[in-house]
């Protein structure tokens, strides 16, 4: 499956950065290259807002052992009871101003306010968090002090992973 921002070429680098965890939660699931390729945790959860993507997952990956949730990532994260044993991996739609293509490429784009809300929520969670995207002033300022890994993806643009805080 090809999705804008898909991790087909970089999933192993992301997996190699993951600390040990018992519960794995991946938001903005899309094609789910990471959740499909990583060693399963005791519990695995994929969150996706697009109903067509949910249908595709149910049809194509019915044998994969994980909970598939049709919901907005922020809504789910605000309502989930975290125990501290989770690793949350967020791969939200990238800020339009830092993408090579500034026009909409995702079916469910994020506004600046949605990016700000996601950042507010993930910083409040009592669990390990990894978030990926291109370098930006908003994410850099908001996640100041987080461990960061930068590398180039197939697009030749800098790929930034703001790590577990």
Tell me the pLDDT of the chain (165 aa) as tens digits. Answer: 544 455 556 788 889 999 999 999 999 998 888 999 999 999 999 999 999 999 999 888 877 788 999 999 999 999 999 999 999 999 898 765 665 555 555 566 778 899 999 999 999 999 999 998 878 888 889 998 888 887 766 543 333 343 444
In-domain check, residue 6: no
In-domain check, residue 144: yes
Range of the domain at 99: 11-162
In-domain check, residue 3: no
In-domain check, residue 31: yes
In-domain check, residue 130: yes
In-domain check, residue 126: yes
CATH code for the domain in which residue 45 is found: 3.40.50.150
In-domain check, residue 5: no
Beta-sheet pairing, 158-162 with 128-133: antiparallel
Number of domains, the chain: 1
Q: Within 10 A of 47 (CB to CB), how many other CB atoms are there?
A: 24
User: Where on the phi/psi map is residue 51: left (φ > 0), alpha (ψ -120 to 50), or beta?
Assistant: alpha
In-domain check, residue 1: no
């Amino acid at each position: 499956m090809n999705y804008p921002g898909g991790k087909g070429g970089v999933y192993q680098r992301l997996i190699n950065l993951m600390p040990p965890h018992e519960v794995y939660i991946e938001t903005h699931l899309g094609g789910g290259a990471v959740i499909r390729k990583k060693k399963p945790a005791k519990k695995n959860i994929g969150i996706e807002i697009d109903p067509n993507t949910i249908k595709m997952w149910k049809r194509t990956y019915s044998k994969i052992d994980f909970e598939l949730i049709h919901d907005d990532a922020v809504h789910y994260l605000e309502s989930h009871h975290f125990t501290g044993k989770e690793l949350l991996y967020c791969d939200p739609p990238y800020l339009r101003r830092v993408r090579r293509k500034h026009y909409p490429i995702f079916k469910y784009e994020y506004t600046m306010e949605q990016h700000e809300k996601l950042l507010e929520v993930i910083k409040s969670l009592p669990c390990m968090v990894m978030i990926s995207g291109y370098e930006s002033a908003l994410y850099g300022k908001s996640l100041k002090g987080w461990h960061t890994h930068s590398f180039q993806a197939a697009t030749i643009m800098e790929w930034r992973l703001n790590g577990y805080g």
